[in-house]
Amino acid sequence: MTELIAKRDHKFYFAAMWLAIGIISSIDLYWAVKNQHIMLYNEQNPIGRYLIRQDNGDVALFMGIKMAGTILALGFLIFLYHHKRLYAWLSVIFLTIAQFLLLFYLGQ
């Protein structure tokens, strides 16, 4: 039976999805900073709205925490890749799909 993805290409595809997660998160950060004057009213995430309110309408606290979460998630994906590869693949595929849905939402 032939494999869906050649074994030699696994690392490439994992890295591509890993990078896509980080890049799309950076695009989200850019748009949040660019549109911070309306973020308090347009933010869909109740935790995000709370953090913006706590920072007097500024998005710095929210974006800092969001980026820290992204970095932790990306680091955890690398850890999983080395210790529980199946979980790493399931996670990176799910997160990549979620990030592309976010990118689609941002583009509307």
Q: How far is CA 83 from CA 14, 55, 78, 86, 101, in A?
A: 14, 39, 9, 9, 28
The model carries a pTM of: 0.86
Quickly list DSSP for 26-84.
Answer: HHHHHHHHHTHHHHHHH---HHHHHHHHHTTT-SHHHHHHHHHHHHHHHHHHHHHHHH-
Question: Domain coordinates of the chain in residue numbers?
Answer: 9-106
Res 10: pLDDT? 83
The candidate with the shortest Cα–Cα distance to 74, out of 91, 60, 86, 90, is: 91
Res 1: pLDDT? 34
Mention every residue, 6+ apart, whose C-beta is less than 8 A from residue 96. Answer: 17, 20, 21
Res 69: pLDDT? 97
What are 5-48's pLDDT values in tens digits? 667 778 899 999 999 999 999 999 999 999 999 988 888 899 99
| pLDDT (average), residues 62-70 | 97
**What percent of the chain has pLDDT above 90?**
80
Res 4: pLDDT? 63
Q: Confidence band (pLDDT; 50, 70, 90) for 2?
A: very low
Longest dimension (CA), the chain: 59
